[in-house]
A = this chain, B = another copy of it.
Amino acid sequence: MVTDPPVKLTPVSYVVLGLLAQDGPSTPYELKAAVGRSIGNFWSFPHTQLYTEPERLAAAGLVREKQEATGRRRRTFTITAAGRRALQAWLGEPASFSRELRDLGLLKLFFGGLVDPEAVRALAAEQEKAHLRKLEDFEALEREGRTDGDAHRRSVLRMGLLYERAAARFWAEVAAGALPEPDVER
């Protein structure tokens, strides 16, 4: 049994491994589509990574690559037994606490003291609208059942929905209050 060179497995690695495990052999383009429909909604990365990452994983023996000999010469990637082991190992260990809310709107709000109140209000209005739009997307997805995947996948979309709902309400408050004094008697 040959030992492949070790690679650091990143979240993207597990996205690829997981999708290959759940959906079966896929081309990068199919991965891209699957991501866009699901994870991409709350954890995005450029499509190029879905071309390069499987390559990395192939070098590590965690996926196998097969390329069409003709036409588009598509590359189809398949998860290997070693890949499944790595994925299961990761899924098995505790996730601990690791979440980032990387929101440029919030970042700007954080520095709201540096601009005039009108600008803050504009920001809040814009953000509220954006989150409402996203919220509607999610609600439509849920309603129409146009979500693919199992219950867990849908569950994740639901968390996205809950977040958008909270965010929209939050920004509405900011837009209304402009300067939200904390619990001053209104």
Which residues of A line the B interface, CB within 8 A?
Answer: 11, 14-15, 18, 21-22, 38-39, 42-44, 87-88, 90-92, 94-115, 119-120, 123, 126-127, 130-131, 133-134, 142, 145, 149-156, 158-160, 162-163, 165-167, 169-170, 174, 179-182
Q: How far is the CB of A154 from chain B (nearest CB, A)?
A: 6
Beta-carbon contact of B163 and A180 below 8 Å: no
Q: How far is the CB of A185 from chain B (nearest CB, A)?
A: 15
Beta-carbon contact of B106 and A91 below 8 Å: no
Q: How far is the CB of A121 from chain B (nearest CB, A)?
A: 12
**In the bound complex, how far is the Cα of B150 from the Cα of A179, in angstroms?**
9
- Residues in B whose Cβ lies below 8 Å from that of A156: 106, 109-110
Tallying the copies of this chain within the complex gives 2
Contact of A111 among B21, B113, B159 (CB under 8 A): B21
Q: Which residue of B lies closest to A156 (CB)?
A: B110
Beta-carbon contact of A151 and B130 below 8 Å: no
Beta-carbon contact of B110 and A91 below 8 Å: no
Contact of A101 among B43, B95, B111 (CB under 8 A): B43
Q: Which residue of B lies closest to A93 (CB)?
A: B108
**In the bound complex, how far is the Cα of B107 from the Cα of A22, in angstroms?**
14
Beta-carbon contact of A96 and B130 below 8 Å: yes
New contact pairs (20) apart from A100-B101, A101-B101, A113-B149, CB-CB < 8 Å: A15-B107, A22-B114, A43-B103, A44-B100, A91-B108, A92-B119, A94-B126, A97-B127, A97-B133, A98-B104, A99-B101, A101-B159, A101-B160, A109-B155, A110-B156, A112-B151, A120-B152, A158-B182, A159-B167, A162-B170
